[in-house]
Every structure is written in structure tokens, then in C-alpha cells.
Structure 1
Amino acid sequence: MKVKKYTGETMQDVIFQVKADLGPEAVIVNKRKLKQGGFFGFFGKEVFEVVAALDSKESDSETTVKEDNNDDIVEISNYGRKTRKVERTKIQKTASKDPENKNAIKEFIDDLKTAAGSEVDVTEKKSEQPKQTKTSNQTVEPENSFKKELKNQQNLTAAQKLQNKFDQKNPGNKNKNLNNSNQLYNYLLEQGVDSRNVNLFLKEMDIKTASAGENNFESRLKEFLGIYFAENEAIKLDSAQKVVSFIGPTGVGKTTTMAKIAAHFAVDKNKNVGLITADTYRIAAVEQLQTYSKIIDIPFAVCYSSSKLEEMIAGQFRNCDLVLIDTPGSSWKDQIQLGRLKDYVDHTLVDEVHLLLSLNTKSSDLRSIISEFSKLKPDRALLTKLDETSSYGDIINIKENYNLSLSYLTCGQDVPEDFEIAGADQIYSYLFGDFYA
């Protein structure tokens, strides 16, 4: 029988430590609430203490991360795997050092996305193709339209793929007209842009593109969006380490989005990337991010307390070009929860804070979310779940009401795809693809 004692600021934190350390079979023997620190019993911080036990038969699957006396050697054991000792520098190493490994990782990610069901579909499609017909001198194979269509789809951007889906559901959109300001005004209202913001948008468009005239409304609109969203920018890395924190309400897709960005920089950009999660409220979130970190071959750690964050970045993640921090999802109505995020967005430690917003959220709720999370001073907004809505007017509302520039757009669960930089061309495809695709 193995018995251990744990303490933490909340009972959820303590229980998570127990499960992470001893595994799901651990049994809580005793728990109590006590005060720590203070002066003669006063002004102490209330903490929870739990005594947990695990039968010795289960202790082989113990999950711990212990540092040896040598700071450069780390003993690692995760979720039932056997313990092994590796050099710390090797933990920091990513696929950027090994091009062959990089390709293998990309292939592995592709394999994850190509599920067995999809392969069956392809096989069935192939079986439907006409058989070869032979002549005396040559063999003639009819054109494989399915392969051609598949190849065309692979060359499309995420926005274009999504637009194709809408076109199939709403073929009548192609017959609409959008050739002047009056038609644009009515269309933006239909898309959910506030009437005040529509007027501001059109007024600025008239000023910025006055020299273009009315000859080609499509070109004029596209030119203006390039000016209008000129401040949108992806994460940029230089010689110094960059630390980026992600905040947002529950269910907005922070964990998956972080995995997409991590894969993009580690695999495509050949950068050393590290993942830190502070979302200890959901064990599933930790396991999900840890799984992605193993696939991409990048370091990962759980931060149980914001007071340890600076130490982790300067120590375990000191060799990373980019450190991404996943914070707990928080209701915008819960001021206490929002207050707990302050240390994870402290700009003395964090370089950028990205506020994740789901575009399938009601406009009224979206306004409340941005208003409350604005207290944490986000640098940019990152829009998620664009595939779960057909109204994109809030992209303009966010710009006009809060002057928040955008970083990325995401539109699905595939990693590392289904996300792209929030450039003017991409936004143009979402907002006006019905007319100019």
C-alpha cells in the first residue's frame, strides 16, 4: 500500500494531483481544510490537504516527474509508461533538428486525419470507376474524376473548402448581386453587422477607395479589406523567446487551437515550441494536450500554480523559441474565475495574450464576453468555429466596437490544418465568397 499527502489551494487542484500522481485507481483516505502561513493563526491562506493511497500492485503505473540531482537529467514517467531518464536538452529538441523525423511526424498527423472510414470511402469510389477498355494497340483508361476532385480539394484553403460546402447547400447564392454600396449595406445587415458599424464601414470604404471609382466594385471592396484589416497579424518570432497566453470562455477551443499553432511552428517553421497548460480543472484537457505534444515531439508541462509559471519558463522551457500557455476556460460572468487568470496574462512575463472567441456565439453574448475579458488586456482576438456558422458579420463588429486586431481563424478539428492567418484575403472569402468565389 502506498500512501501520500497532497495540498493545494482548491480541492479540484488536489484531486487532480492525486490522479496525475497515483492514477485513476487512487483512493482518497482522508481530507481536511486547514490554514497555511499567517501570524499566530491569523491571516493564513486556506488550503486543502488530502491523504491518498494506492495498492502496491497499481504503483507500477505511478505518474511522476522528478528531477535528479543533476539539473540536466530528468526522470520521466507519464500515464502508466515505464520510467526512463533522458538528458534535458533532448526534451527540448523538436523535429526542427531532424528533417527525416519532421516528415515522419507530418505523415503521422496526416494518418490521424485520414481515418479508416475515409479510406473505405476512397476504395468504394475507386471501385465505382469504369473498367479499362483495350484496343489492339493501346489501353485507354477513363478519367478518374474522383481523384481529380480530391486533388482540387487538397489545393484549396480552409475558407474555400468551407465555401464549397455552403455552395452545395445554398446553390442560389451564386445568383445574388453585390455590385454597389446599397446592396453591400443590406448584405452586411443580413450578416449581423450592427447598423452603426455598417455605416462606419461604408463611409471609410468611400474615403479610402474614392479614387477607384465604381467601375469594379469587387476589386474596390477587396482593396478596402486589405486596408481595413491591415493590423491583423500572426505570431511572429525573432531571436528572443516569445511567450503567448490563450484566454477565453469555456468550450471555445483553446486546447485544439494551441495544438494547431504548436504543430505549425514546430513542424512547418522548424521552431522549438513548448506547451504549458494551467487548465487543471479538466483532466481531459491535460491528456489531450499531452497527446499532441508527443505526436509533435515537443516538451509539455502542467502548471498547478501561477507562482510557478516564471520558474518553468526560465527553467524547463528555456531553450524554446515559442512557449504557448493554455489557461482554464472561464465564464465571463464569474469575476473570481477571471481574477485567477491575471497572473497568466501578466505582460511582464507574457509577450502576447490572444482572446479566443467562437463565431457561433450569439452577438449579444459575444459583446459581453469581449467586454469582460477586455479587463485582462488581450492583444489580439482569435476566431474559432467558423465552420459552425454562416454569419460572419461579427468579424466587423469586433473590429469596430473594440478595435481588436485578429491573429488566426479556425474552422474544424483537424490538426495542424483547419486554421489560417486572419489575412484580408481569408476574411474576404468568408464574408463575400457567395458573390465572388
Structure 2
Amino acid sequence: MIIKKYIVNDMKEALIRAKYELGKDAVIIHQRKIKEGKWYNPFKTTKLEVTLAIEEDKDNIKDPKEAKDPKETIQNKDIYGKNNMENTNISKEKDIKTNILFKDANEELKEKLLSYCKLKSLDVNSLTSEDIKDFLNIGYKDNCFKEKLSLGKLNVMVGPTGVGKTTTIAKIAAKEYLENNKKVGLITLDTYKIGAVEQMRTYAEILDIDYEVVTEPNEMINKINKLSHCDILLIDTLGTSQRNKEKLQDIWEYLKDIKEDINTYLVLSISTDRETTLSIMDKYKQLEYDALILTKFDEVSSFTNVWNIMEHTDLPVEYFCHGQSVPDDIEIANIDNLIEYSKEVYSYD
């Protein structure tokens, strides 16, 4: 196999160069935006780095020095030999029709997936779990399903209102207490939402585990010390819009003076639209989250947002949540569990 990397202004230029040098059967296996120029240059230009591959056939490979100026070559053709990009999009919709994992994915991911399938001579609608993992490892080398952030002593859940932080904490607490025999303690800072304290107290009483409420930032260290005998502390925070800078700062005031290591998980609902999700991921960075938890799988008909999230973070996704049942509706976030869940819900083989 011959693999070549191009740094170009746009995808059209990459496709033209690739077809001239590698032939019409070259396929895209990876693409990303990069900044070109010296590290100290504030006006670095944005370029596209595109990696293409073709099964080795030296007779068809041309010397790149002989390549013509892309402006002088035929435009609006892609690597599949279609006459225009509109035909390519029609082909994608036709090709990815029964694979529930990818049928509503964004165009960039579809492009990579179809290129991968062409390179490997695979049917996009009959991919095995191993095929999908191989695709993600090639197209998204540092994808968020590979690494995991193990629960530590202190674990904080942050995220918008209504994404399921409190229920997620209850699920994790129940699993750790019942299945792993851990001493678990719960702390809530969420005294804003009506019923939040009572909900957390109810979970603590059912599991017969310790529980504390923090009403002011200066109480935080004392409450943690009161639960120092626990193996795991799960800390619930108030939900707030990513646009509410004041409330985000309030949450930080509770956490900033903690000297022990903290694992902070951003809890996201995959039923949230793409732009809002990306905005949440960006604005919540001020709380220095280390990993993600994805909820509300039971409320969506596709996995579009899973892939949107994957393409915009290298941080690990720790759990998938798919219902209100405690502790059953939570899974370790990996591709095998995602595939099994999709098969169970959408009833396909």
C-alpha cells in the first residue's frame, strides 16, 4: 500500500493532486486542519493536511514533479470518479442506509468511512465491531473511546441543567457500592434546583451510604474531610447554561481550593444539537474537565452527536447512559458496547 500526505489549501486541490499522482482509485484515510508557519508567527495560515492511500501499483504512480498546476486540471471531480460533488453526496446517502451507527453521521465522517471501506473492500452496511474499531483507529487515531479515566478519590460531575448528572451519580455510586464493594460518599452543591437535595438524599438512603450538602464554597474542604473514610466521593454540581459565566465561576469557587486530585467529568446529553454541544464543550473548559459522560441515548434515533463529539475532543468518554433505571442503564463507553446497544434498540443483526 502506498500512503501519501498532502498539505493543501482545500480538498479540491488535494483530490486533483492525488488523482494525478496516485490515480483515480486513491482514497482518503485522514484529514485535519493545521496551521502553517513559524510558531511565533501570529498570522499563520490555515491549511488542510490530507492523507490518501492506494494499493501499490508503481506503474500508475506519477512523479509529483510532473504534476500540473491544479488550476489547469479538470475541476469538480472526486476520488470516486464522479462528475461532481453533488453526485458524491447522493452516493453517500445511498451507501450508508442500514448502518444505524453511521447513517446520520456528518459528511466528513461519511467521507472517511466510505474511503476506508473502499480501501478494505468492505460493505459499509455490514461492518463488524473489529472493522469499526479499525476504522476509528485509522481515521481518528486518538479517538475518545480508546483511553479511560478511572474513578479517583474525588469525582466531580459538571454540565448543563437536565443532562442527568444526579441520576448518573446514583448509577455510578450503586455500581461501585454493590458490585465493587467500595465505600462511596455523595456530596451535592446543587441547592438551586428544587428537589435536588432531596433526590440525592433519597439515593444515599437507599444505598445506605454517607451524604453531605455544601451550601458555601468555604464548607467544601470540611465536607470532604468528613467523608475521608470513603474510597470514592461523587460530587454533584448545579446545572447551568454554558453562557452563564457567573454560575460557571460559582462552581469553580467551590472546587478551586481542593488540594487533592480531582477527576472532573463533563456530562452531555446526545439529544442536544451539534452547535450547542460544541459550545458547551468549549465554555465548560474553564472548569478543567478531564473526561466526558454521554447521556440520553434512549431519547435519540441516531448516533450523530456521538461522532460530532468524537471529532472535537481527544478526552476520554467514560460512560454511556441510556435510561433512568439505577444502576442498570449505564455502560462503559467503548465501541463494543455502543454496537451492542444499537443492535438491541434497533433490532438488526
- TM-score of the two chains, using structure 2 as the length reference: 0.63
CA distance in 1, matches of 2:325, 2:280: 26
Counterpart of 1:253? 164
One-letter identity of the residue aligned with 1:293: A
1:359-398 map, 5 Å? 359-398=270-309
1:409–1:421 CA contact under 8 A, matched in 2: yes
Tell me by how many angstroms 1:197 deviates: 3.6
Counterpart of 1:51? none
CA distance in 1, matches of 2:231, 2:302: 37
SS at 1:275 equivalent: strand
SS at 2:243 equivalent: coil
CA distance in 1, matches of 2:244, 2:315: 23
Q: 1:218 aligns with which of 116, 119, 127?
A: 127
5+ residue gaps, structure 2: 1-91, 138-142
2:101–2:302 CA contact under 8 A, matched in 1: no
Tell me by how many angstroms 1:426 deviates: 1.3
Pair 1:320-2:230 in alignment: yes
SS at 1:402 equivalent: coil
Counterpart of 1:340? 250
Question: Higher helix fraction: Structure 1 or Structure 2?
Answer: 1
Pair 1:233-2:233 in alignment: no
One-letter identity of the residue aligned with 2:285: S
Counting aligned pairs with the same residue, the percent is 33
Structure 1 residues 259 and 193 mapped into 2: Cα distance closer, same or farther (>3 Å)? same
Structure 1 residues 432 and 364 mapped into 2: Cα distance closer, same or farther (>3 Å)? farther
Tell me by how many angstroms 1:252 deviates: 0.8
2:102–2:110 CA contact under 8 A, matched in 1: no
Tell me by how many angstroms 1:391 deviates: 1.6
Pair 1:198-2:110 in alignment: yes
* Residues 216-273 of structure 1, C-alpha deviations (whole Å, 9 max, x = no match): 9523534426745542426345xxxx10000000111111110111011011110001
One-letter identity of the residue aligned with 1:332: Q
* Residues 395-427 of structure 1, C-alpha deviations (whole Å, 9 max, x = no match): 111111222321111111111111111121112
Tell me by how many angstroms 1:344 deviates: 4.3
**CA RMSD between the two structures:** 3.1
- Bigger drift between 410-419 and 220-229 goes to 220-229
* Residues 297-352 of structure 1, C-alpha deviations (whole Å, 9 max, x = no match): 11000011222212221x21111110000000011111111111213454844421
Structure 1 residues 195 and 251 mapped into 2: Cα distance closer, same or farther (>3 Å)? same
Structure 1 residues 206 and 350 mapped into 2: Cα distance closer, same or farther (>3 Å)? farther
Structure 1 residues 215 and 206 mapped into 2: Cα distance closer, same or farther (>3 Å)? closer
1:272-421 map, 5 Å? 272-313=183-224, 315-346=225-256, 348-421=259-332
* Residues 54-98 of structure 1, C-alpha deviations (whole Å, 9 max, x = no match): xxxxxxxxxxxxxxxxxxxxxxxxxxxxxxxxxxxxxxxxxxxxx
- Bigger drift between 371-380 and 408-417 goes to 371-380
CA distance in 1, matches of 2:108, 2:127: 23
SS at 2:201 equivalent: helix
Tell me by how many angstroms 1:390 deviates: 0.7
CA distance in 2, matches of 1:325, 1:284: 16
Structure 1 residues 344 and 198 mapped into 2: Cα distance closer, same or farther (>3 Å)? farther
- TM-score of the two chains, using structure 1 as the length reference: 0.51
1:181–1:202 CA contact under 8 A, matched in 2: no
Counterpart of 2:42? none
* Residues 21-78 of structure 1, C-alpha deviations (whole Å, 9 max, x = no match): xxxxxxxxxxxxxxxxxxxxxxxxxxxxxxxxxxxxxxxxxxxxxxxxxxxxxxxxxx
CA distance in 2, matches of 1:181, 1:199: 11
Larger Rg: 1
Structure 1 residues 319 and 308 mapped into 2: Cα distance closer, same or farther (>3 Å)? same
CA distance in 2, matches of 1:354, 1:311: 22
SS at 2:226 equivalent: coil
SS at 1:369 equivalent: helix
2:171–2:326 CA contact under 8 A, matched in 1: yes
CA distance in 2, matches of 1:375, 1:191: 34
CA distance in 2, matches of 1:342, 1:202: 43
1:225–1:428 CA contact under 8 A, matched in 2: no
1:193–1:393 CA contact under 8 A, matched in 2: yes
